[in-house]
Structure 1
Amino acid sequence: MTTLPQVDTDDDKRKDASDESSELVREGLKLYDDWRLRELANIEAGYDDLEFRAGNQWPIDVLQQRVAEGRPCQTINQMGQYVRQVTGDMRQMRPAIKVVPIDDNGDEERAEAMGGVIRYIENRSDAPGVYFQGADSQVTCGIGAWRITTEYASDTTFNQEIRIAPIEDAIAVVWDLDAVLPTKEDAMKCLVPFDISRDKFKAMFPKAIAEDFAPTGLLGSLGHLDWSTTETVRIGEYWYKKATKKTLALMPDGAIEDCTDDKERAAELTALGARIEKRDGFKVYRCLITAREVLEGPTEWQGSYIPIVPVIGEEIRIGRRLVRHGVVRFAKDPQRTYNYMSSAETEVIALQPKAPFIGTEKNFEQYQDIWESANRTNHPYLPYTPDPANGNQAPSRVAPAVASQGITEGIARAARDIQAVIGIYNASLGAASNETSGKAVIARQREGDTGTFVYIDNWSRAIRYTGKILVDLIPKIYDTARVLRIVGEDGKTETIEINQVGGMDADGVTPLIWNDVTTGAYDVALQMGPSYTTKREEARDGMRELIQAQPALFPAIGDLYVKAQDWPMADDIADRLRMLAPPQIRAQIEADSKKPMPQPPPDPAQVQAQQTEMAIKQAEVETKQAQARKAVADADKAEIELQQMQIAPLVDAMKPEPQPQPQQPDHGPTLENMATAIVELQHAVSQIVQAISQPPPQEMPTDMPPQGIPMDQQPPQPGGFFNGGQPPA
């Protein structure tokens, strides 16, 4: 018998903590009591569903009676395959959380960055495993759950990370009774109880009280003795929302800033033309409680949602009462019938070799030991003593029990009843049925998928709500520049940079942030479908049929077809085929990828022709360069002669006046003729230089170096002394 501690009923004397802490304990325990009072039937039935699927399918009293009588109690568990059929469809799907912007501050690039962060969180959390664990509980007992939490990336950093973590006992999670949405996002309270050993409890909370908790006073009239046993202590993680007033500023550019509890910032924004408004909102808090005291908290959660995600199976509302179940609940009776019929058939068959012998007492008295073991031992012969009382007849065996045809029919009917109750038939399970054509089999399989699609739909709704919580939480946690490594749908890794400073805005003051995940409003959509491997196989088969029907399409889609293969180096082969694609396809690929594709290797004959053409053009260029050099030299010579002619009169004036000589006709160049010749030479030089400086023809590859051009040879400098040019060195 458990000894209860003495508890003072005077509230003012027996409070173990402050008034606020005591109030939190009262609220948490009241929520726990109210939930169990309303949901007790679902809670007990849910745990029984788990036990039933685990193989505990015989009622305790019937099992004990049959064991005492030595009768068989077979359990032919059919539940596992039906649960796995539903969860197997989920495992073949790859739910993808897609982020979409819903205001002017969010754009497609930021939404893609936000989606990349979500994939990073899912990858480091092994989110598919968490989702599948929740689905397994959902399909079995009608409810599953997981949570979103934060943690430090390591013990040597201040960077926090978001993690998606499982909740082992989803049935035990306590929700606000007024929450009506399937995701419980409208819940104001939530309690997640969990049990730990007493040793661990004392190590984690050495000053906490770990004795048995009293059933009176603070703990309520019902008591909470199940919160403390000789081996475990129950802790409740209590989440609650508290109403608050938020101060929002609408900037002239449409941006919204939260300046709650910051009056100075609100005044600054008002001066800048912002519109300030008060809005009703909530803050989320978390604390750890026992049935007696607050162990930790309360602390404010950085998000706007209680980060507990339920996964509902199927619900039937009857007035204010709600019946929640999975695929096991209503299949119990036909499963028990199946077990009973199988046990009866086994019992009948097992008793056939034990049919008794009929004879007189005298027939067996001399060989009693042999006859007593006749049903257990294979004796070579059975001796007996003749008795005149029965005409000296030998003992005879009573006809053994024969298995009833009704038992066999009962087993088959029970199997059909299980399928009818769950909604999954042989075709969906992969067994042969009456359908012969492939379309008929697929149609029957789809009927089974439709009958259980409610579980997939509710599961996908829970994952979408998870994305909504992450989108709300990411700007508060990932608020610094980081480089994250994510895994794409195809299994390839890539690096994404978030919150990176990439220069300054047009005003020269505001920094530009690339992939800024801290601004903008976003919504979440969920894409459900087969896994990447399944989709690749389907695409490969479809392209094979298309190429067989239209071989001319291979140059256009050959790279895609090869990329979908599982060969070694399939990607390398696809890259080479892509370089040989038609120009229109290559242009489209470049436009979609926003980067040029590698050019294919040129044809050797074409390269030789281009080199020959370039050699001819190079010879022409060299000829023009020689002409230009000669023209420049002639122009320089003419310029010197002109200068000499201009200087000659001055020199003659300085000489003594000579004796008059007979006048001779002047046949040499005049000053006017020399100037005209110089102008013509300069014009010719300009034309030659302009011809040399013309760009090469468009058909010549610009990336191939011209053949035979000396690197140290420079083109001639145009002009001379008259137009400001420099003389040759």
Structure 2
Amino acid sequence: MPRKSALDSTPRSKDHDALELMRTRYDKARELSDDPYQLASDDIRFVTKPGAQWDEKLKARRKDRPMYEFPKLQGHVRQVVNEMRQSRPQGKVRGVEEGDTGLAEIMQGICRNIESTSNSDHAYDTAFDQAVKGGLGWWRICTDYASDDDFDLDIVIKPIRNFASVKIDPAAVEIDRRDARFAFVEELIPESEFERRYPGASIADFYDDKRAEKWREAGQVRVAEYIYKEPQKRELWAVESRNGVKVVFADEAGITEEELPAAGLRLVKRRTVESHKVMVRITNGHEFLTEPYEFPSKFIPLIPVWGNIDNIDGEDYWQGMVRGNKDSQRLHNVHRTAMVEAIAKAPKAPFVTKPKWVKGFEQQWYAANSEDRPVLFVDDNAEQLPQRTQQAEVPVALIQAAALDNDDIKAGTGQFNPSLGAQSNASSGRAINSLKMAGATATFNYIDNLVYAIRYQYEILVDMIPRVYDTQRVVRLLGEDGGEKWKTLYQEVTDPVTGQTRTLNDISKGKYDVTVTVGPAYATQRMEAAEAFTQLVGQLGSSVPPLVPLLAYQAISNMDLPGTEEVSTALRKMLVSQGALPPKEGEEPPQPQQPNPIQVAQVRKATAEADESEAKAEKARAEAMATLPTAHADVRKTNADAAKTEMEIWQASNPMPALTDFMG
């Protein structure tokens, strides 16, 4: 598939139908986005640009009087933005099936590497800052060559600094706008730059085209990337082979239906799928400046981050933290400015005098409150000296109103003193933490919407990576701790037993889903771990001394100080040798412990005593066996004597009759 840069210059297209469709889409998207974008721009300007917090009516009424700003709201915005920077959402790729776990780890490592090489934190911070202030921010995903002398494409995450440069399909309703049919990313460039980039385009024809009036502005030309989905029908096959059934699109099978039987394959099922491909063209509203080229994803690669978004009467209404608190900030500025004016007038109360008392010195007295004069003269015949009127006092109502304005801003943002690091009425640590948690809960929707955006980005990356990294190449995988591993994608190896060729690390074969976690960054987790293990050393050192070396190793391993790596390595070696830690690959296992000499002697003594006891027992058994026949004979004799005696006794008590008695 062709993969071109958006800045490539190619012959102009004469596809008038496509051009008319593009113009219609642009006009509709711009018409429905102009008002919301203007409101969001005003919100960002209000909290960012000095002098923007006084509206034009108030400025006209005050004329040359001072108009001070006390940017309370800006601190609330920074609090939300910086909390996100301390607990950045992290995307994670998971395998759908058990066999996809290894491929999911590779995909996860590639995604982290893309984020690292793209400096994606800048894109996230820019979009999130605009979402908190104005209600919407964007970033995008592009492809670019790895280097000028390479043909390998890489995936790049880029910020969109001007959120209003994105015009999206107004019919899209999903929170991440994945259902959009088209989008525009525009920029204004000088005419000279336009002619340099697109030498084949006619600037004169551009200015003559009335339909392109919205595409020019004060000597600049509006150039837009037109990203759109082109519908297509694809046939899905279920092909049976001796290895099972495989599902594949017909246009990706690499074989025709007629060639299937000869290859030992059988078409089991087929169906038509309504699909699409994402196309990109560059336009200036008058003509297409490039031919269409296919973007390697099924998604339009633009990721929105919302502030507060609600659907009202079928239309999305969105805003950030600023819009609902503008009035409170304006009132605070007015009341505080009035207080400053009153205080400034206090030491310069006007003088009360008769004209004749200062006759001839009027100019000195007129400038008495504006010039620092060491001497003020009066007429020699003046009955008394001029006197100042009573000094102006700051009205208590102004002080109370300014305090109420401050409370209104806190109530509007949901952030009170503990969240802002200010002193509050809460005295216990638990109460302070509860108030901080309440502030974090009130603004959690901003973080949650960023989570939606990063999850959508990971879905796009998972879809893009197999399409861009589609040939054998060595890629770097980054772990959560920043550790590096290298893998060769689509590596072919031959099984020495079967002789068959297998492909390793084929990321296109896996099925994945994505999730996002929110928590402290890895560096912050290390700092917290070092502190926790250090405390455990002090708490458990006296009660469980054997644990001290292991706890000290964990504490030192999580410290980022010069020399800690050497100390950690030495401690680990000691702990492995003692068997307190399992050895890693390449480390020597612990040596068998040498026996204690005293224990050896005790064992030998016990063994000797056991042998002696066994010998005595054996002798006793032998003597017993030698006397056994005699004992048996004595038993038999004793039994015979007893039987004889018993018989004699029976005969004596039962005499037998004479034989003649029986014979009669």
Cα 1:514–1:264 shift into 2, 3 Å = closer
- How far the C-alpha of 1:451 sits from its partner, in A, is 0.6
2:512 corresponds to which of 511, 514, 522: 522
Structure 1 residue matching 2:26: 3-state secondary structure: helix
Task: Give the corresponding residue for 1:661.
Answer: none
2:227 corresponds to which of 221, 226, 239: 239
Contact 2:419-2:436 within 8 A present in 1 as well: yes
Structure 2 residue matching 1:295: 3-state secondary structure: coil
In structure 2, give the amino acid aligned to 1:441.
I
Q: Deviations over 1:101-140 (max 9, x none)?
A: 2257x52111111111111111110111111111111111
**Would you say 1:408 and 2:404 are equivalent positions?**
no
Structure 2 residue matching 1:180: 3-state secondary structure: coil
Contact 2:145-2:152 within 8 A present in 1 as well: yes
Q: More displaced, 49-58 or 479-488?
A: 479-488
Contact 2:576-2:590 within 8 A present in 1 as well: no
Q: Deviations over 1:396-422 (max 9, x none)?
A: 222232111111112111111111111
Q: Which has the higher contact order (CA 8 A, sep 6+)?
A: 2
Q: More displaced, 122-131 or 270-279?
A: 270-279
Structure 2 residue matching 1:79: 3-state secondary structure: helix
Task: Give the corresponding residue for 2:618.
Answer: none
Structure 2 residue matching 1:72: 3-state secondary structure: coil
Task: Give the corresponding residue for 1:229.
Answer: 217
Cα 1:18–1:120 shift into 2, 3 Å = closer
Determine the C-alpha separation between the residues in 2 that align with 1:261 and 1:600.
Answer: 55
- How far the C-alpha of 1:287 sits from its partner, in A, is 0.7
- How far the C-alpha of 1:225 sits from its partner, in A, is 2.8
Q: CA RMSD in A?
A: 3.0
Q: Deviations over 1:630-649 (max 9, x none)?
A: xxxxxxxxxxxxxxxxxxxx
In structure 2, give the amino acid aligned to 1:352.
A
- How far the C-alpha of 1:32 sits from its partner, in A, is 2.6
Q: Deviations over 1:398-448 (max 9, x none)?
A: 223211111111211111111111111111111111111111111111111
Structure 1 residue matching 2:235: 3-state secondary structure: strand
Determine the C-alpha separation between the residues in 2 that align with 1:574 and 1:254.
Answer: 53
Task: Give the corresponding residue for 1:92.
Answer: 86
Determine the C-alpha separation between the residues in 2 that align with 1:134 and 1:435.
Answer: 35
1:148 corresponds to which of 113, 117, 141: 141
Cα 1:299–1:505 shift into 2, 3 Å = farther
Cα 1:65–1:297 shift into 2, 3 Å = farther
- How far the C-alpha of 1:455 sits from its partner, in A, is 0.6
Matches for 1:320-331 after TM superposition, within 5 Å = 320-331=314-325
In structure 2, give the amino acid aligned to 1:37.
E
- How far the C-alpha of 1:78 sits from its partner, in A, is 2.2
Q: Deviations over 1:357-387 (max 9, x none)?
A: 2222212222223212211234344332377
Task: Give the corresponding residue for 2:473.
Answer: 482
Q: Deviations over 1:249-268 (max 9, x none)?
A: 33443433333277843444
Contact 1:194-1:235 within 8 A present in 2 as well: yes
Task: Give the corresponding residue for 1:681.
Answer: none
| Alignment size in residue pairs | 577
Contact 1:313-1:325 within 8 A present in 2 as well: yes
Task: Give the corresponding residue for 1:43.
Answer: 37
Cα 1:111–1:486 shift into 2, 3 Å = closer
Structure 2 residue matching 1:294: 3-state secondary structure: coil
Task: Give the corresponding residue for 2:72.
Answer: 78
Task: Give the corresponding residue for 1:59.
Answer: 55
Contact 2:144-2:156 within 8 A present in 1 as well: yes
Cα 1:143–1:77 shift into 2, 3 Å = same
Structure 1 residue matching 2:300: 3-state secondary structure: coil
Q: More displaced, 262-271 or 467-476?
A: 262-271
Structure 1 residue matching 2:174: 3-state secondary structure: coil
In structure 2, give the amino acid aligned to 1:245.
K
- How far the C-alpha of 1:577 sits from its partner, in A, is 3.5
Determine the C-alpha separation between the residues in 2 that align with 1:553 and 1:263.
Answer: 62
Task: Give the corresponding residue for 2:115.
Answer: 122
Task: Give the corresponding residue for 2:521.
Answer: 531
Q: More displaced, 421-430 or 248-257?
A: 248-257
- How far the C-alpha of 1:351 sits from its partner, in A, is 2.2
Task: Give the corresponding residue for 1:423.
Answer: 414
Task: Give the corresponding residue for 1:501.
Answer: 492
Determine the C-alpha separation between the residues in 1 that align with 2:257 and 2:108.
Answer: 32
Contact 1:579-1:586 within 8 A present in 2 as well: no
2:483 corresponds to which of 471, 475, 492: 492
- How far the C-alpha of 1:600 sits from its partner, in A, is 4.0
Determine the C-alpha separation between the residues in 1 that align with 2:578 and 2:119.
Answer: 42
Contact 2:130-2:137 within 8 A present in 1 as well: yes
Task: Give the corresponding residue for 1:336.
Answer: 330
User: Please, which runs of 5 or more residues in structure 2 have no aligned partner?
Assistant: 1-10, 601-664
**Would you say 1:445 and 2:439 are equivalent positions?**
no
In structure 1, give the amino acid aligned to 2:17.
E
Percent sequence identity over aligned pairs: 32
Cα 1:456–1:207 shift into 2, 3 Å = same
Contact 2:579-2:590 within 8 A present in 1 as well: no
Cα 1:261–1:574 shift into 2, 3 Å = closer
Cα 1:268–1:277 shift into 2, 3 Å = farther
Determine the C-alpha separation between the residues in 2 that align with 1:561 and 1:255.
Answer: 51
Contact 2:234-2:273 within 8 A present in 1 as well: yes
Task: Give the corresponding residue for 1:695.
Answer: none
**Would you say 1:265 and 2:251 are equivalent positions?**
no
**Would you say 1:171 and 2:159 are equivalent positions?**
no
Structure 2 residue matching 1:110: 3-state secondary structure: helix
Determine the C-alpha separation between the residues in 2 that align with 1:274 and 1:80.
Answer: 64
Cα 1:370–1:25 shift into 2, 3 Å = same
Determine the C-alpha separation between the residues in 1 that align with 2:345 and 2:285.
Answer: 57
Structure 2 residue matching 1:58: 3-state secondary structure: coil
Determine the C-alpha separation between the residues in 1 that align with 2:551 and 2:247.
Answer: 48
2:353 corresponds to which of 334, 344, 359: 359
- How far the C-alpha of 1:507 sits from its partner, in A, is 5.0
Matches for 1:176-215 after TM superposition, within 5 Å = 176-211=169-204
Q: Deviations over 1:510-551 (max 9, x none)?
A: x32222222222111112210112212332333344442352
Determine the C-alpha separation between the residues in 2 that align with 1:184 and 1:162.
Answer: 21
Determine the C-alpha separation between the residues in 2 that align with 1:499 and 1:91.
Answer: 37
In structure 2, give the amino acid aligned to 1:247.
E
Task: With the length of structure 2 as denominator, give the TM-score of the two structures.
Answer: 0.80
- How far the C-alpha of 1:601 sits from its partner, in A, is 6.2
Contact 1:212-1:228 within 8 A present in 2 as well: no
Structure 1 residue matching 2:154: 3-state secondary structure: strand
Cα 1:501–1:94 shift into 2, 3 Å = farther
Determine the C-alpha separation between the residues in 2 that align with 1:268 and 1:528.
Answer: 51
Determine the C-alpha separation between the residues in 1 that align with 2:191 and 2:130.
Answer: 28
Task: Give the corresponding residue for 2:362.
Answer: 368
**Would you say 1:461 and 2:449 are equivalent positions?**
no
Cα 1:112–1:269 shift into 2, 3 Å = farther
Cα 1:308–1:241 shift into 2, 3 Å = same
Task: Give the corresponding residue for 2:308.
Answer: 314
In structure 2, give the amino acid aligned to 1:131.
Y
In structure 1, give the amino acid aligned to 2:149.
T
- How far the C-alpha of 1:497 sits from its partner, in A, is 3.1
Determine the C-alpha separation between the residues in 2 that align with 1:496 and 1:464.
Answer: 25
Cα 1:139–1:41 shift into 2, 3 Å = same
1:301 corresponds to which of 272, 285, 295: 295
In structure 1, give the amino acid aligned to 2:137.
G
Task: Give the corresponding residue for 1:659.
Answer: none
